[in-house]
Amino acid sequence: MIIRKRLNNNSLGNTKKANEKKLQNITIKNYEINMNGHKTTFFDYYSCMLPYDMPISLYKYPPIFGYCSLNDFQELGAKRLALLQFLDTCTLAGGGEEDSHEYGSKKGDKTFYAKNVNTNDSNNVVESKNKQIKQKIYEYKFGMQDIKQYDKEEMENIIMTDLISHYILRIAFSKDKEKQHWFLKQELKLFTFRLNSLKNIKILNPQETEIEPGLIYLLKRENLNYDYITKPYEASGIIRGTIVSNATGNTTNLMSTSGGFKNGTSNTISSTNSANTSVSKDEWKNYTAFIPNNDAIEKIFKIPFFPDAYFLVRDHKVYVHQAIAYVPDIYLDGILLTHFRINIRESFKYLEQNEKLITQVQNDSRISDFLSALPKAYVAKDFRHDYEHTDDTRLMPQTLYNVYKHSFPPCMRRIFINYLKEKHLKHWARQQLWLFFKGAGMTLEENIQTNRSLWSQPDKFDKEHRYTIRHMYGKEGKKTDYSPYNCTRIINNFPVP
């Protein structure tokens, strides 16, 4: 499968020629667009393929050049979905979105695949799962087994296959928030896997002519230019370190610098040292003494504590001063994962706010059916639909009072206990509990009769709430058969009862 570049062709019609002019000066390596006489430089796509076997990107820049056939378009989307489905089966302990972006310092290189596995077996399980995942990545052409055997065109194809397939699924999953959550969760797993493969790799930075850890190289490539502090060293009997500002390329005083995004700034760094920029050994200890394996730390990055370093600060993993988190280089995977998560969530918000954009794409007759089918095709386990209840497994009015204390989820148990006490529920509590009863196997009539018997004024219940339950079962209104709310929606959107 080849993602072809657009080429100027004299045989094209005037319309196509006009369109081609809009795409002039585009190259994959560092493509540019001329707009109203102003040249704008975009992302270096070739840099996605670092010196190892998989492309890696925060997917901040969609591929805006080239074309592919409709068959290739569908094949790319289907393969990406198949890979994410496979990743969904690789979380041994279930896990949620939070599990997918924990920093490696907490879980180590074992990532999220060996949770709750016996210690004696965990290494074998992790190694086996990692091999399976890598094999799937090779199988679906999202990576290469030996980069030296690939020419420029083949490498370009791997990169664009990864980029385009990601954006196909991002568009397809943008309409449904629950589908968005599943998509983000699996993409975080894939990104985590790639980060773990990058951790132990050193990369030559051509701009700085120095070899640096892969995570630092990726951080700079994604234009996340934070100030940082180097590890103290001994010179003439004095222990000192260097504070480097990425904004100016100069060393600066510790308390006067600020971290954060510096988009459009140079990555060129000066290593000039002076008495005013010294970092004492005691200062370094303040930042690192409580961190496991702190001997391996070579640099500490000054990063805004929110949102960039939120998860590290939340878990008390880093030193914080004046809203700046001092993040060691061994924790940079957590920063990259946070940015990855934010980028995708913000893109979904943007599409939601600009519905016309996504509607234009999804109404394209060539791809509309395929984009609509993709979110329905994923096979993640979902016990809210098509579960065949039996009298032995379903919730019934006669068993309700025997099982709620031990078998209800904590949130539903709390609502139900409050229900028994108050003989009344507020709106969101009603929505959650009554849909939960439905999902647990209660029939429409059982649900109505159970709640009517619990309500303080049964006649008032008939007038005000019977319709609501019938609506939940698809018997009123739009005839929509509603599903119970999942944990993520309850946690993120609803107040406690």
CATH class of 48-201+339-377: mainly alpha
Strand partners, 328: 300
CA distance 333 to 111: 11
Tens of each residue's pLDDT in the chain, 497 residues:
545 554 444 444 444 433 333 333 333 333 444 445 554 444 556 666 665 678 888 998 887 666 788 889 999 999 999 999 989 887 533 334 444 444 444 444 444 444 444 555 567 777 888 888 888 888 888 887 766 666 777 777 888 889 899 999 999 999 888 889 999 999 999 999 999 888 888 887 767 677 888 899 889 888 899 999 999 876 544 455 666 666 544 443 333 233 333 333 333 333 333 333 457 889 999 999 999 989 999 999 999 999 999 999 999 999 999 999 999 999 999 999 999 999 999 999 999 898 888 888 888 999 999 998 898 886 555 545 555 677 788 999 999 999 999 889 888 999 999 999 999 999 989 999 999 999 999 999 999 999 999 999 999 999 999 999 999 999 998 888 888 887 767 776 655 54
| 8 A C-beta contact, residue 475 and residue 467 | no
What pLDDT score was predicted for residue 485? 86
309 C-beta neighbours (distance < 10 Å), count: 27
**DSSP for residue 345:** H
**At 106, which helix (H) or strand (E)?**
helix 104-107
| 8 A C-beta contact, residue 260 and residue 303 | yes
Strand partners, 67: 4
Query: What is the three-class DSSP state of 238?
Result: strand
Q: What is the dihedral of CA 78, 80, 83, 84, to 10 degrees?
A: -110
CA distance 332 to 298: 12
CA distance 362 to 351: 12
pTM of the model: 0.65
**Phi/psi class of residue 386: alpha, beta or left (left: φ > 0; alpha: ψ in -120 to 50)?**
left
Spans of all domains in the chain: 14-46, 48-201+339-377, 208-338, 397-493
CA distance 239 to 81: 53
What pLDDT score was predicted for residue 460? 93
**DSSP for residue 246:** T
